[in-house]
């Protein structure tokens, strides 16, 4: 699987990225160079620094785990410089899907390197027995020109983007478009507080808001794990087909430990359904080692059987309020939402999130 392969450019090859023990190790230079490639690609494609890579966190995230197998390869030129990166992930409880991504420095695109990396990504997915490869591309929200509409009916990606052209050329089809939005803590949270008060009154006594900084309280960890498992099946997915994921308390604890090892902080806002004790909704916020950088919204979900009670507003608003108290140095929060997820977009827009980047979600039958 990790054999070096030739691509049709003299002196350019693809091989495994050696993972050092730490970013300070003597053999960490390749990892740092690969992180720089991804940062440069993200800045070019998105027009923002939202996707900059923090190498120490990234190193933890590249390791294969009990629940996911990861393969990391790099393209090198004739001088042995890293010019591109490939990451493939296969969930161990899945059978069909693989998720892959490729990154090439913007100055070196158009030479076939990205095509070769994506072809290798497809080969590796097949080698792992997967029949569908998912990937994504970030594009500036304001990029002009003709657009390819999402099959979900809302959202589109610019055809002029080189990454869009790459995926179409390789036979991928657009499955969904997501909006990347940002909430700036320089703006007042007063509106979020008013929205929270109104939503709590609407929800009524059957629903109780809870908040924790990881680890999850023992009394909620099972319900939280079940709610997380519903993310794969209950969020809008357009033409994409996600496999169910098995989440239990053990898997939650495992993820919490990985976050701690990476130096990240994670906090969860949830709503408990008092009559049953179930977790009816949740929202997750995470920040990396640098507490002065932007935070990221991970999962947000209101279980279908509990919708219509303003629970999404509760977890979003309370989450932002408590997060700013916990990490006051983080300037903003970034979140992804499917363009057809109008309910959650309404909540985000009302509280003050602003569109920043467009993300195309793609798939290819292998």
Q: State the pLDDT at residue 242.
A: 87
Q: State the pLDDT at residue 7.
A: 43
Q: How many percent of the chain have pLDDT more than 90?
A: 90
Average pLDDT over residues 276-291: 97
Res 1 pLDDT > 80: no
Query: What is the pLDDT confidence band of residue 141, given thresholds at 50, 70 and 90?
Result: confident
| Average pLDDT, rounded, for the chain | 94
Res 3 pLDDT > 80: no
pTM of the model: 0.93
Token pair 């467009």 in the structure block, residue: 358
Q: State the pLDDT at residue 359.
A: 98
Handedness of CA 253, 254, 256, 260 (dihedral sign): positive
Q: State the pLDDT at residue 344.
A: 94
Res 123 pLDDT > 80: yes
Q: Which residue has the higher pLDDT, 254 or 238?
A: 254
Could you give the C-alpha distances from 101 to 90, 119, 138, 208, in angstroms and in order? Answer: 12, 11, 11, 40
Nearest-angstrom CA–CA distance, 269 and 291: 19
Residue range 53-109, pLDDT digits in tens = 999 999 999 999 999 999 999 999 988 999 999 999 999 999 999 999 999 999 999
Q: What tokens does 124 get?
A: 């590796």
Residue range 16-64, pLDDT digits in tens = 999 999 999 999 999 999 999 999 999 999 999 999 999 999 999 999 9
Query: What is the pLDDT confidence band of residue 171, given thresholds at 50, 70 and 90?
Result: very high
Could you give the C-alpha distances from 304 to 202, 234, 235, 236, 238, in angstroms and in order? Answer: 17, 7, 10, 12, 17
Nearest-angstrom CA–CA distance, 240 and 122: 17
Could you give the C-alpha distances from 18 to 26, 33, 61, 179, in angstroms and in order? Answer: 12, 12, 14, 34
For residue 193, the SS3 value is: helix
Residue range 302-325, pLDDT digits in tens = 999 999 999 999 999 999 999 999
Residue range 6-18, pLDDT digits in tens = 444 545 799 999 9
Nearest-angstrom CA–CA distance, 187 and 310: 23
Q: Which residue has the higher pLDDT, 232 or 318?
A: 318
Res 335 pLDDT > 80: yes
Q: What angle in degrees, to the nearest 10, is found between the helix axes of 190-203 and 311-326? A: 140
Q: State the pLDDT at residue 11.
A: 53
């Amino acid at each position: 699987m990790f054999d070096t392969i030739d691509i049709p450019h003299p002196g350019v090859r693809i091989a495994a990225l050696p993972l050092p023990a730490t970013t300070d190790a003597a053999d960490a230079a390749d990892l740092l160079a690969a992180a720089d490639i991804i940062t440069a690609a993200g800045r070019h494609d998105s027009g923002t620094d939202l996707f900059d890579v923090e190498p120490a966190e990234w190193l933890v995230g590249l390791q294969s785990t009990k629940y996911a197998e990861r393969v990391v390869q790099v393209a090198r030129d004739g001088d042995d410089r890293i010019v591109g990166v490939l990451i493939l992930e296969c969930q161990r409880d899945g059978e069909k899907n693989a998720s892959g991504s490729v990154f090439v420095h913007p100055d070196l695109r158009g030479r076939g390197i990205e095509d070769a990396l994506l072809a290798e990504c497809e080969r590796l997915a097949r080698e792992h027995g997967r029949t569908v490869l998912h990937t994504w591309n970030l594009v500036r929200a304001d990029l002009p020109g003709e657009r390819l509409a999402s099959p979900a009916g809302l959202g589109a990606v610019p055809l002029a983007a080189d990454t869009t052209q790459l995926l179409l050329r390789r036979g991928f089809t657009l499955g969904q478009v997501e909006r990347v939005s940002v909430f700036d803590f320089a703006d007042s949270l007063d509106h979020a507080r008013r929205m929270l008060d109104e939503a709590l009154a609407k929800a009524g006594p059957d629903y109780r808001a809870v908040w924790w900084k990881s680890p999850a309280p023992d009394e909620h960890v099972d319900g939280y794990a079940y709610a997380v498992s519903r993310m794969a099946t209950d969020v809008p997915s357009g033409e994409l087909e996600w496999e169910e994921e098995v989440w239990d308390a053990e898997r939650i604890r495992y993820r919490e430990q990985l976050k701690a090892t990476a130096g990240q902080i994670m906090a969860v806002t949830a709503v408990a359904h008092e009559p049953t004790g179930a977790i009816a909704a949740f929202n997750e916020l995470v920040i990396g080692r640098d507490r002065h950088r932007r935070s990221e919204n991970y999962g947000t979900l209101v279980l279908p059987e509990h919708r219509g009670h303003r629970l999404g507003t509760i977890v979003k608003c309370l989450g932002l309020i408590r997060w700013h108290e916990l990490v006051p140095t983080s300037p903003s929060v970034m979140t992804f939402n499917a363009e057809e997820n109008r309910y959650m977009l309404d909540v985000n827009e009302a509280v003050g999130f602003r569109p920043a980047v467009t993300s195309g979600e793609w798939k290819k039958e292998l």
